[in-house]
Structure formats: structure tokens, C-alpha cells
Chains A and B, each alone.
Chain A
Amino acid sequence: MTRLRDHGLQSERLLWPTKGPSKFEEEMGVEELEQALGLTTLEKAVRWAQTKSMWPDTFGLACCAIEMMAIVSARYDIARFGMEAFRASPRQADLLIVSGRVSHKMAKPLRQIYDQMVEPKWVIAMGACASSGGMFNNYAILQGVDRIVPVDIYVPFCPPRPEALMEGILRLHEAHLAGVPPAYERRQVAT
């Protein structure tokens, strides 16, 4: 087991060799201090913070939008995950939940909204229509929203239960915590 001092707890001493023990070390002693402190990297801490308040953008299109509103409601509360603040402006949003069928006329506004979001940004394709065109294999509907935006998580069903959407969101959180980069980095597409 590596000790904190192996990681350089006395980091100040690395720079300032003549510095004595800090107040914490004096009061708590090295053993207790090791149990009271948590060590992490900056990337992990930032990712944890991003996960805990990933604000979605209001992009409700069709039936799935009603189920997306249901996750904000009291039974499937998404405020537990810090995500009840649906931002109207894409510039303030992190997550784009494409909920509903995307017609060709709507594809241009969708791409515009995605472009206006600031990195890091994620996309969840909610429902069958956003994932693949769903039951509408015709002239009017974009056959899958991943033709124009890079998608991180696909949530199937028509419409997905609020719990299913929450599972999708939580898997996105887990993936992000584990270090999986957002889809635009993985697919190396323009953002």
C-alpha cells in the first residue's frame, strides 16, 4: 500500500525543503491525515463535477418530450442528479437530449443548436425515432440523428420510460467518470 508521503504529501517540502510539518499534520498526525484526505487527479475531479451537474438543453420534439418532462416531475426526479435545470439557451447547456423524430426541416436547427453548445457536450438520442428513424422509414424523417450529430447514448423504445432515459443518463455519467471521451472526440468530427 502506498502512503501519502510516497506521493509527496509533503509537497511543500519538495519546493521548500526546510519547511516543517503543516498545521493539519501537527494536529492530526500523519496516519489520521491519510484517512481524512482524498487524492485524485484534476481530470477526475473535473469529470466528477461535470457529471453531477450536466444541464440538458430543452430539445423536446415529439412524444419523447413528454416522457422527458416526466423525468423532471416528482416521481422520476432528475433533480437528484443535478439535472433539473433545463437550459433554454444551448450556450449554457451540456447535454442535448434529442427526444423525438427529427424531420429534414428540423435537421438544420438541430445542427445549429449542437454547434452553439460549448465543449464538453454530449448527445443522447432518446427513443427509436432519434436513434434510427424509428417506425418512420420515409421521405420526411432523418433516419437516425447520428447522421448529423455524434451521439453518445442511444435510448431505445417508443417512447422510452422515464426510468429508461434515466438509465441512459446514468450510463453516460458512468462512462464520463471512467474517462470515455464525448462522442465528438471519439468520432473525431467537427463540433
Chain B
Amino acid sequence: MNVRDIPGFLDVREEHGETTVVVERERVRDAARHLRDELGFNFLADVVATDYLNWGTKGVSGYIGTASGRDLNLPMTQGLQAQPRPKPWRFSVSYHLLALREGAPRLRLQTLLEDGDPVPSVVSVWPTADWHEREQFDLMGIRFDGHPNLVRILLEDDWEGHPLRKDYPIGGEPVRFSDAE
């Protein structure tokens, strides 16, 4: 399977037995159509958006109870910890694809973007993306161009903000005895 033919191809990673192909944001729909028609990935399992705000700034997520991160020069129980690889873009949108044939090949199509950048919608390629994209718009605030009905789906229509972003507070009520959790 030659992934470099995918329109808008930028990068490919193979980790944990999974293949991730990064494409340019504007060419997502062309890449999707190529993947469905040429390479046979006819099943879109999932569309996920991830917010990398403050990725790696604390080292790793710090002790429970302390506001700041760890000192990287102190040895841990697992040896010196490693900084995670930097993420220069704030958001990533991942499409998890599956080909319904022998061997069940899976692929993750990923695109990287900043806040406010719209992503072309793949509803015309896989109709199931309709609700998945609505959900990511609702919870992460990513606009999908060409989506026929981009309104909130899980939260109320007049909800302000996008809860799954890292700068949105967890909400709820304060609880005694567990301040950082």
C-alpha cells in the first residue's frame, strides 16, 4: 500500500503496529476519496479531534496536588523521564479508517490545524461522518466546511464554549480533600 500517493501527503508514522498518515488540511477530502476508492478503506470508524494546548509544558502531568511540573534532573522511579515529542499545531483531527477485507487493514488519517482553521468535511465520502464531525464541532469547536448540518449535537443549542478544549474548566462543584483531582 503506497501511502505517498495520497493527495496532500505530508508524513507517515508507524507506531504500536498502527500507521498514521498526516495530510494537509485543505486536501483532506481528496485524500479521503483516494483512500476510499483507490486503497479500499470503505469504513470510517471514527473522527477524533485532539487539543494539544500546553502539551509537554509541565514535563509530564505532574504530581497530584502540586501546581507545577517535575524537575527533569531528578531521577524518577522509571529513570530520567523523557519530554514528549513537541506538537507544533494546536489541534489534530484523526480519521480512523478500516478496510472491510482480508487482514482488516487499519489506517489513521491525520491533519493538523490551529484554532479557527476549517477542515473540509468528508460527509460526501463517508456519510457516517455526519454526526462524528458534528460531535467534534460541538465539543472541540472545529469547523468542517461543506458539512450540511453543522450544529451542536450533544450539548444544548445555546451552550457557550467547547468543553473538551484544554482551556475549558472541568466544571462541577468543588469537593473537599481532593483539590487537584
Q: Which residues of A contact B (CB under 8 A)?
A: 104-105, 133, 136-141, 143
Contacts and interface: CB of A to CB of B under 8 A. Distances in A.
A133 B173 contact: yes
B84 to A, nearest CB: 25
Interface size for chain B: under 10, 10 to 19, 20 to 34, or 35 or more residues?
A: 10 to 19
B138 to A, nearest CB: 12
Nearest to B155: A105
Contact of A137 (B155, B168, B175): B175
B76 interface: no
B170 interface: yes
A137 B172 contact: yes
Contacts, number: 26
Nearest to B168: A139
Contacts of A139: 163, 168-172
A143 B175 CA distance: 11
Nearest to B174: A137
B27 to A, nearest CB: 35
A138 B139 CA distance: 14
Given A139-B163, A140-B163, A133 B156 contact: no
Contacts of B155: 105, 140
Contacts of A136: 172
A149 B111 CA distance: 46
Interface string B165-181: 00011111101000000
A140 B175 CA distance: 16
A138 B156 contact: no
B92 to A, nearest CB: 23
Contacts of A104: 156
Give the interface centre of A105, A133, A137, A143 by most chain B CB atoms within 10 Å.
A137
Contacts of B168: 139
Contacts of B156: 104-105
A140 B168 CA distance: 12
Nearest to A108: B156
Contacts of B173: 133, 137, 143
A133 B172 CA distance: 9
Contacts of A140: 155, 163, 171
A39 B171 CA distance: 56
A164 B175 CA distance: 26
A8 B169 CA distance: 70
- A104, A105, A139, A141: residue with the most chain B Cβ atoms closer than 10 Å: A139
Contacts of B170: 137-139
15 contacts: A105-B155, A105-B156, A136-B172, A137-B170, A137-B171, A137-B172, A137-B173, A137-B175, A138-B170, A139-B168, A139-B170, A140-B155, A140-B171, A141-B172, A143-B173
Nearest to A143: B173
B134 to A, nearest CB: 15
Interface in B136-181: 155-156, 163, 168-173, 175
A104 B155 CA distance: 9
A58 to B, nearest CB: 23
Contacts of A133: 172-173
The 4 closest A-B pairs by CB, nearest first: A139-B171, A137-B172, A138-B172, A143-B173
Contacts of B171: 137-140
